[in-house]
Amino acid sequence: MNTTITPNRLTLKLHTDSGHGWLEVPKKEVEALGVKLSRYSYQDKSNFYLEEDCDLRAFLKAYQNKFGGSPTIDFVHQVVGDHPIRSFARVG
C-alpha cells in the first residue's frame, strides 16, 4: 500500500513567553527528519521544544524538503514572564 503524506499532516503548537518561543514537536518527527538540535532547545518524555531562532528553522527546512510544504502551526500558549518550558531538560 502506498500512502501519501500531505505537508500539513502535523499540527504543532508554538509556545511563547515575553522573551522567547519554542515549537512543540514529537521526538519521533524530529528524529525521522534527522534534525540536529542545539542546547537551546528543551525536551520532555515525548516532545522536543525547538528554540525559535535556530532549531525551529532547521526543522521547518527539513520538513519542507521532505514533504514539500509546512506543518500547521497553532499559536496557542503565550505566557507573561518565564514559560514553564524553561524548566525542562535541555537537549544535549
Within-domain flag for 6: no
- Domain holding 76, by residue range, is 11-90
Within-domain flag for 5: no
Cβ–Cβ under 8 Å, residues 50 and 25: yes
- Number of domains into which the chain is organized: 1
* Spatial strand order in the sheet of 47-51: 72-78, 11-16, 21-26, 47-51, 42-43, 89-90
pLDDT tens profile 3-59: 344 455 788 999 999 889 999 999 999 999 999 999 999 999 999 999 999 999 999
pTM, two decimals, is 0.87
